């Protein structure tokens, strides 16, 4: 799928194992040695770890074609849950990083968790809302989630995830307001007498 769609970015919102259960296959090499999956090779080019996420760069190969892919793995999001309230800043920073990378290409990005609806739906909602808030003074979270669910059932799986979206949007509004206030300051007393 990555090669077919020429997806430059994969966003992974799970760990491979959570609470002693397999949530996702480890589909990249553990070392810098390429691994073969049928006719497709996957080579790890780099891996940078921070407290809440890991950024990896892969090179996929098939026949005579190669494609570099950025793999952004948020590791602090529990299944069926949400990051802690203290991590709202972190998840919004992660969403921003993903959006910056996605804007570099017109090709689609891939977003996945374990089931593809809870964390994935919440992440997609945050990404859409972050873009919307930049240009508008209102949001319709319920309407947007309903629209997402018309394309894929159960997007934003739990009440806790829905509330988390609201908490994140509140912080987005506060940041937008703060930026507006600081950008409105045009005079400054430059001399102290």
The angle, 0 to 180 degrees and rounded to 10, between the axes of the packed helices 88-102 and 159-184 is 80
Cα separation of 156 and 121, whole Å? Answer: 5
Among the listed residues 16, 24, 113, 168, the single catalytic one is: 113
Phi-psi domain of 157 (left: phi exceeds 0; alpha: psi -120 through 50; beta: other): alpha
Cα separation of 154 and 53, whole Å? Answer: 25
168 is catalytic: no
Cα separation of 104 and 96, whole Å? Answer: 13
Please report, in angstroms and rounded to a whole number, the separation of the first and last CA atoms in the chain.
Answer: 67
Find out whether 18 and 78 touch, Cβ atoms under 8 Å.
Answer: yes
Enter the tokens of residue 158: 């739990």
Q: Which residues are catalytic?
A: 113
């Amino acid at each position: 799928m990555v090669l077919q769609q020429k997806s430059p970015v994969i966003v992974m919102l799970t760990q491979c194992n959570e609470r002693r259960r397999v949530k996702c296959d480890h589909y990249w090499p553990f070392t810098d040695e390429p691994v073969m999956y049928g006719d497709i090779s996957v080579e790890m080019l780099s891996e940078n770890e921070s407290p809440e996420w890991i950024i990896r760069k892969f090179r996929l190969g098939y026949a005579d074609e190669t494609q570099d892919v950025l793999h952004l793995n948020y590791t602090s999001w529990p299944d069926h849950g949400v990051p802690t309230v203290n991590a709202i800043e972190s998840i919004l920073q992660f969403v921003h990083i993903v959006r910056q990378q996605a804007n570099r290409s017109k090709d689609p990005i891939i977003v996945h968790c374990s089931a593809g609806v809870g964390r994935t739906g919440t992440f997609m909602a945050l990404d859409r809302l972050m873009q919307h808030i930049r240009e508008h003074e209102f949001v319709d979270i319920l309407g947007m989630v309903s629209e997402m669910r018309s394309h894929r059932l159960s997007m934003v799986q739990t009440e806790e995830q829905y509330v988390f979206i609201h908490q994140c949007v509140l912080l987005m509004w506060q940041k937008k307001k703060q930026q507006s206030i600081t950008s409105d300051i045009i005079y400054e007393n430059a001399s102290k007498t």
